[in-house]
Each structure stands twice: as C-alpha cells, then as structure tokens.
Amino acid sequence: MNQTAFQRASSAYGSAKQTLPPHKLVEALQDRALQLCTSAERHATAGQFDRFHADIVHAIRIYTGLQVVMTNQVGGPSGKALSQLYGAFILALGRAAGGRDVPGRVRRIQERLALHRRLWAKPPKN
C-alpha cells in the first residue's frame, strides 16, 4: 500500500474514532462491507458487473483501511492476527469475480464476513 493510501486510512480512522469508540467503529465498517457484499451479489445476479465491481472495490477499501489500522495503530499479536484475517478477506473479495457462479462466491464470502462480524460483537468472556 502506498503512503497516500495509508494516510487516508489513518486519517479516516482517526476522524471516525472521535465520534465512535474504536470497537463500534470497526463494527460499523464491517456492517458497511456486508451491505456492499449483498449489493454486489444482487448486481452479479442481474449481470450488472460494473456495479458489482464498484461494490467489491468499496468493500476491499474498507478492509484495506482496517488492515492498515490493525497493523500500524493497534499492533501487537491481536493487531497482527486481525491484519492477517483482513488480508484474507481482501483476497477473497478480489477473487470473487473469478470462475463460475459469481453470486454464490460472493454469498460464501459474505457468510465468512458475517461470522466474523457476529464474533466481533460478542463481549469477551472473563
């Protein structure tokens, strides 16, 4: 990722962090990525691949920003693990248009993203 993309992601995270706690900010970004996947699946089913592409690219940008923040601002083992997970999500989203049954591929990716989102929302056990 180039320096400008890092600066944009860090700036966006810093701005949003002023209005939302970091945990809720990540939830909101994950929710938006899930909405984009739903929209991408709908567009792929309808054969509207320009709109499908725009939705997937937007979702990738969300996870790229989260990955940058986890790597450079959160750090430590947790930040590294989340950064790697978000990297896997980015790859999966980028590969969504490859092969057959694009809507089905997007749906499977969305299921993984939704599972992560549900796990993220659960409070840790003490």
Side chain identity at residue 16, one-letter code: A
What's the pLDDT score for residue 6?
57
CA distances from 8 to 1, 15, 24, 84, 99 (A): 11, 10, 20, 20, 33
Domains of the chain as residue ranges with CATH: 22-121 (1.20.120.340)
**Which residues does the chain have with pLDDT short of 50?**
1
What pLDDT digit, counting tens, does each position of 85-114 carry?
999 999 999 998 887 899 999 999 999 999
What's the pLDDT score for residue 124?
63
In 3D space, the residue among 110, 120, 119 whose CA is nearest the CA of residue 89 turns out to be 110
What's the pLDDT score for residue 90?
95
In 3D space, the residue among 105, 108, 75 whose CA is nearest the CA of residue 67 turns out to be 75
